């Protein structure tokens, strides 16, 4: 029989699903896959529930409900002083994942080069390759996760169609500073390229940092597609409501990719997210503030039992270096085996960071880092720390 597609055939199940299944199997506390253990605002959920009964329940407009497109445009203005026309600059998608797929499918011609930054969020590589891209990668190295000018310059060429930038960055917890963003903008302009900006954690920055969309830098408003997700902003990851902001000439082909991928997104959820986006500043402050408390709590707990913690400036993920612990427990330094053993023996699940690198081609993928999700209630984090402490001492 003829072979099925070579990119998807044999591709492993995502690490998030794999680790969540393992956590369920072993009754472990799941600090692996990134999702909060408390649902987002009740009023948003109540509104969606009422609309599911009262309607609308038929196809909404393909670009998204006007109310949500207006709310996304307004949020761009309110948070970043970006001027967006809801009619031509905003597209609603079924989550950021669909948005990423649409953007890549709309921009890429077979053979175009796309730059990805490692560690990379898991869907980037197969989606880019399936769109026909030749992927070039640059690497951020912990603990600083600094973007290296020479490395980035070397990755760009006249064939570069786009760079995919995740800021704040999952799994690194890194927030790109203005100098790094200026470097990206300079190279995008120089090589006449585009930037697909995955900004799903745009409202989850800590220690008084503010999010700077690449799109706000000089000339970038014509070259950036900026992606957000209600899943992260409202702690409703199962809803899969995403949105793209971008210049009309770029968004037009992206909308055509969307039209034949999902076409639309459930209207009740869209209307409720539109309502949510208009929430007062205190909502956004408390989202980041509560997560900062949780970050500090888990960070201190893990550090006290021997994990070497790497600073986290945004997202809800902490990365820990396990090298010293592995030596202490006389285990090989192998993040995959460590996460498996930790789930089975300690009853706590995390994600191996090696899963965020391009597989196969490189022998130097780091194997000493694991990622913990801290968007959980404090007693849950405490129980995880207690279990890990017992496991490490035992
Ligand atoms: N990008 C990043 C960096 C993510 O962490 C996630 C996970 N939520 C997504 C995209 C996908 O978002 P969504 O669930 O809205 O598809
Ligand atoms: N974004 C989530 C994470 O990084 C996972 C989302 C998913 O499972 N697709 O853990």
| Structure confidence by residue, pLDDT tens digits, 241-286 | 999 999 999 999 999 999 999 999 999 999 999 999 999 999 999 9
CA 265 / ligand 1 centre spacing (Å): 16
How much of the chain is helix, strand and coil, in % rounded to 5?
45, 15, 40
Instruction: Specify whether the CB–CB gap between 171 and 353 falls below 8 A.
Output: yes
The model's confidence at residue 361, banded by pLDDT at 50, 70 and 90, is low
The model's confidence at residue 394, banded by pLDDT at 50, 70 and 90, is confident
Give the pLDDT mean for 118-144: 97
Cβ of 315 closer than 6 Å to ligand 1, yes or no, is no
Sheet of strand 317-321, all strands in order from the earlier edge strand to the far edge: 308-310, 317-321, 369-373, 351-352
Angle, alpha carbons 365-371-373 (nearest 5°): 155
pTM value is 0.98
Give, as one character, the DSSP assignment of residue 300: H
pLDDT at 362: 64
Residues present in the chain in total: 394
Determine the distance from the C-alpha atom of residue 345 to the mean position of all C-alpha atoms in its chain, rounded to a whole number: 29
Instruction: Specify whether the CB–CB gap between 108 and 153 falls below 8 A.
Output: no
Cβ of 200 closer than 6 Å to ligand 1, yes or no, is yes
**Best residue for ligand 2 mutational test, from 12, 14, 21, 33 (most atoms within 8 Å of Cβ):** 33
The model's confidence at residue 1, banded by pLDDT at 50, 70 and 90, is very high
**Best residue for ligand 2 mutational test, from 15, 24, 31, 35 (most atoms within 8 Å of Cβ):** 35
Rounded Cα gap, residues 36 and 81, in angstroms: 29
Virtual torsion, Cα 95, 97, 99, 100, nearest 10 deg: 160
Tokens encoding 179? 């100098």
Give, as one character, the DSSP assignment of residue 119: S
Domain ranges of the chain: 15-39+282-393, 42-279
Instruction: Specify whether the CB–CB gap between 220 and 185 falls below 8 A.
Output: yes
CA 327 / ligand 1 centre spacing (Å): 34
CA 173 / ligand 2 centre spacing (Å): 14
78-107 residue pLDDT tens: 999 999 999 999 999 999 999 999 999 999
CA 169 / ligand 2 centre spacing (Å): 13
Cβ of 245 closer than 6 Å to ligand 1, yes or no, is no
Domain spanning 15-39+282-393, CATH class: alpha beta
The model's confidence at residue 367, banded by pLDDT at 50, 70 and 90, is very high
Instruction: Specify whether the CB–CB gap between 239 and 93 falls below 8 A.
Output: no
Assigned architecture for domain 42-279? 3-Layer(aba) Sandwich (3.40)
Question: Which residues have any ligand 2 atom within 6 Å of their CB?
Answer: 14, 16, 33-34, 170
């Amino acid at each position: 029989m003829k072979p099925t597609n070579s990119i998807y055939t044999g591709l492993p199940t995502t690490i998030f699903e794999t680790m969540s299944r393992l956590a369920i199997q072993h009754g472990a506390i799941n600090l692996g896959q990134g999702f909060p253990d408390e649902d987002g605002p009740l009023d948003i959920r109540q509104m969606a529930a009422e609309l599911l009964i009262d309607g609308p329940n038929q196809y909404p407009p393909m670009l998204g409900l006007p109310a949500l497109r207006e709310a996304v445009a307004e949020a761009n203005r309110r948070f970043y002083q970006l001027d967006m026309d809801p009619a031509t600059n905003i597209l609603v998608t079924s989550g950021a994942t669909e948005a990423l797929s649409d953007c890549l499918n709309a921009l890429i011609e077979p053979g175009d080069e796309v730059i990805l930054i490692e560690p990379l969020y898991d869907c980037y590589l197969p989606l880019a390759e399936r769109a026909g891209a030749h992927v070039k990668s640059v690497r951020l190295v912990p603990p600083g996760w600094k973007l290296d000018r020479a490395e980035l310059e070397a990755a760009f060429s006249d064939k570069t169609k786009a760079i995919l930038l995740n800021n704040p960055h999952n799994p690194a917890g890194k927030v790109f500073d203005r100098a790094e963003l200026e470097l990206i903008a300079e190279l995008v302009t120089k090589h006449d390229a585009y930037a697909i900006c995955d900004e799903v954690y745009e409202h989850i920055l800590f220690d008084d940092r503010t999010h700077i969309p690449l799109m706000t830098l000089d000339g970038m408003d014509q070259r950036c597609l900026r992606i957000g997700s209600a899943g992260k902003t409202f702690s409703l990851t199962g809803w899969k409501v995403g949105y793209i902001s971008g210049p009309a000439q770029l968004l037009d082909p992206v909308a055509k990719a969307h039209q034949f991928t999902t076409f639309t997104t459930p209207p009740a959820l869209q209307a409720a997210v539109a309502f949510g986006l208009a929430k007062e500043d205190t909502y956004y402050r408390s989202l980041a503030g509560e997560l900062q408390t949780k970050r500090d709590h888990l960070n201190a707990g893990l550090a006290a039992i021997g994990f070497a913690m790497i600073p986290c400036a945004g997202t809800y993920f902490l990365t820990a270096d396990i090298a010293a612990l592995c030596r202490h427990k006389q285990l090989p330094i192998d993040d995959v085996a460590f996460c498996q053993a930790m789930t089975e023996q300690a009853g706590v699940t995390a994600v191996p960071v090696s899963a965020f690198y391009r597989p196969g081609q490189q022998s130097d993928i780091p194997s000493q880092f694991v990622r913990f999700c801290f968007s959980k209630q404090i007693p849950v984090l405490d129980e995880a720390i207690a279990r890990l402490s017992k496991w490490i001492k035992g």
